[in-house]
Amino acid sequence: MGLDLIILGAASATPTSNQYTTAQLLKMREHYFLIDCGEGTQKQLRRAKTKFSRINHIFISHLHGDHFFGLVGLLSTFHLLGRTAPLTIYGPPKLKDIILTQFRAAGTFTSYPMHFVVTQHKVPQVLVETDSYTISSFPLKHRIATTGFLFKEKSLKRTLNKAVADAYGIPVCDYHWIKEGKNWTSEEGKEIPNDELTLDPPQPLSYAFASDTMYTKDTAGYVKGVDVLYHESTFCEDKKARAKQTMHSTAAQAATVAKEAGAKHLLIGHFSARYTDKLKFEEEAKVVFSKVYAARELYQYSIKHSGIKVESLAPEKNEK
């Protein structure tokens, strides 16, 4: 069990020959969620060997091009691949018109239904709720309407402790009721409490995505206690004035949000092309918050309570 996060793009503004703009794929409870969709996202998905058909929800934080210019191409590819499953896209009010206008202009239709859910950029909003997880949005402070996204697992049911059940001679036909939380009574009338017959489920995990935003204390309030916080870090402290002017954040400011939120880990990205050494961001953030990672493209971050495992998904250089 755990969350798997693949960084598809971690650069700001424009893609380069070796860097892609913002896009992430989160795997949670066997579901795939695409978060932002910068130019070249579908190419990165292929490099990460991800099955496109598993993506049923796409979340767009705001309408600056480096966060959604790859979306129309990806939606078109879904159609060309013969997709029939419904797709839900969450984003700002104008996103639907932008997408449909491009399709109409090209005389294009999709082989699958698309549903658009408008996000609220002034108040938190629950977007998806199932028996196993909740996904919500929260306001960020940027030049245009922008939202972050919070992904939270729900607690699973307790699991049967087979060894204890066998020791009490509990028949298989009673397992169902025990898993549903009921005590068990033996033929002699002895009641065995449920917590003795079952094991605690793993604690639910959470992931927060704070897209483009300047530093604000409000962000920490929306993501209190999150296991992993991704927070944009466009600049280092040498460009702090520029960060304020463009309503972005520095690495130290991102770390401050993580510290104020009581986050367990911090992942920073959206790096300006002004910097060639991404470790500089990590070093500045660590002065404020120790458990920080500078996002690396085509790397998977496997999130568990025991920590984060990082592994490369990049194809071998000789792969064609």
pLDDT (tens, 9 = 90+) of the chain, 320 residues, equals: 689 999 999 999 988 888 999 999 999 999 999 999 999 999 999 999 999 899 999 999 999 999 999 999 999 999 999 999 999 999 999 999 999 999 999 998 899 999 999 999 999 999 999 999 999 999 999 999 999 999 999 998 888 999 988 898 999 998 988 988 899 998 888 899 999 999 988 899 999 999 999 999 999 999 999 999 999 999 999 999 999 999 999 999 999 999 999 999 999 999 999 998 999 999 999 999 999 999 999 999 999 999 999 999 987 654 43
Q: Can you give the three-state secondary structure of 95-112, one letter per residue?
A: HHHHHHHHHHHCCCCCCC
For 121-130, write each residue's pLDDT tens digit.
Answer: 999 999 999 9
Residue 52, phi then psi, degrees to nearest 5: -55, -35
Examine the domain organization and report whether 124 and 107 are in the same domain: yes
320 lies in some domain = no
Tell the burial category of 275 from Cβ atoms under 10 Å away from its Cβ (0-12, 13-18, 19+).
Answer: middle
Examine the domain organization and report whether 184 and 72 are in the same domain: no
**CATH value at residue 277:** 3.60.15.10
Q: Is 195 a catalytic residue?
A: no
pLDDT for res 318: 44
From 145, 169, 191, the end of a domain falls on 191
pLDDT for res 108: 86
Structure token digits, residue 229: 């916080």
pLDDT for res 202: 86
Examine the domain organization and report whether 119 and 166 are in the same domain: no
Single-letter amino acid code for the residue at 227: D
- Separation between Cα atoms, residue 88 and residue 107, nearest integer Å: 22
Examine the domain organization and report whether 41 and 175 are in the same domain: no
Examine the domain organization and report whether 185 and 226 are in the same domain: no
Examine the domain organization and report whether 173 and 106 are in the same domain: no
- Separation between Cα atoms, residue 46 and residue 81, nearest integer Å: 13
Using DSSP, state whether 87 is helix, strand or coil: strand
- Separation between Cα atoms, residue 91 and residue 72, nearest integer Å: 14
- Separation between Cα atoms, residue 112 and residue 103, nearest integer Å: 14
Examine the domain organization and report whether 234 and 271 are in the same domain: yes
pLDDT for res 188: 86
Given 66, 166, 195, 200, the catalytic residue? 66
- According to DSSP, the β-strands at 265-269 and 292-294 are parallel
- Separation between Cα atoms, residue 13 and residue 21, nearest integer Å: 7
Domain that holds residue 187: 159-191
Examine the domain organization and report whether 72 and 177 are in the same domain: no
Examine the domain organization and report whether 301 and 289 are in the same domain: yes
Examine the domain organization and report whether 69 and 166 are in the same domain: no
| Closest to 133 in 3D by CA, of 204, 200, 85 | 204
Single-letter amino acid code for the residue at 113: P
This prediction's pTM? 0.92
318 lies in some domain = no
Examine the domain organization and report whether 47 and 119 are in the same domain: yes
Examine the domain organization and report whether 56 and 164 are in the same domain: no
- Cα Rg, the chain, nearest whole Å: 22
Q: How many domains does the chain have?
A: 2
